[in-house]
């Protein structure tokens, strides 16, 4: 009789390695998206500040969107960094929630980069775990 246990162990090791790569890639993507979103939020604050200087209508709203973008951008950076060192799906879920919140409350430029963070969170959620085998 042929023993296939060694082959199944090898398949499990490959799946675990793929999961590790997906989690690391998702964390790095979320981290990079957060850094770029900080610059986008800074630009939003700059535009809102110029609008306030010229007494433009609703310039305060633009400034508020900029601060929302800063908050969610830094949160995406922190969550992406923590996701690099953990195997838990909750980090991916938190990154997805952060990306959605940043897209809503951060303005258009921040929303572009939060879409990238959303992809990183989905990668972390979809990565196979050791106990999924």
CB burial readout 7-24, b (16+ within 10 A) else e = eeeeeeeebbeebeebbb
- Based on the structure, what is the number of domains in the chain? 1
Distances (CA, A) of 38 to 14, 27, 93, 115: 36, 17, 21, 14
Residue 117 forms part of a structural domain: yes
* pTM (global) more than 0.95: no
Residue 11 forms part of a structural domain: no
pLDDT given for residue 18 in this prediction: 81
What is the pLDDT tens value at each position of the chain, 133 positions in all?
A: 555 545 445 555 556 788 888 999 999 999 999 999 999 999 999 999 999 999 889 888 999 999 999 999 999 999 999 999 888 899 999 999 999 999 999 989 999 999 999 999 999 999 887 765 5
Full domain range(s) for residue 47: 30-132
The residues, any chain, with a CB within 8 Å of residue 40's CB and separated by 6 or more, are: 69, 73, 106, 107, 109, 110, 112, 113
Residue 65 forms part of a structural domain: yes
């Amino acid at each position: 009789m042929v023993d296939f246990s060694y082959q199944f162990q090898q398949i499990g090791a490959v799946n675990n390695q793929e999961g590790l790569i997906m989690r690391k890639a998702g964390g790095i993507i979320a981290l990079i998206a957060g850094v770029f979103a900080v610059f986008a939020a800074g630009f939003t604050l700059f535009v809102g500040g110029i609008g306030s200087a010229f007494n433009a209508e609703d310039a305060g709203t633009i400034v508020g969107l900029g601060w929302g973008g800063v908050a969610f951008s830094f949160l995406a950076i922190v969550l992406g960094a923590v996701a690099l060192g953990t195997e838990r799906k909750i980090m991916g879920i938190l990154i997805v929630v952060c990306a959605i919140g940043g897209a809503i409350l951060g303005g258009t430029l921040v929303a572009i980069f939060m879409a990238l963070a959303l992809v990183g969170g989905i990668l972390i959620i979809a990565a196979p775990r050791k106990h999924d085998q």
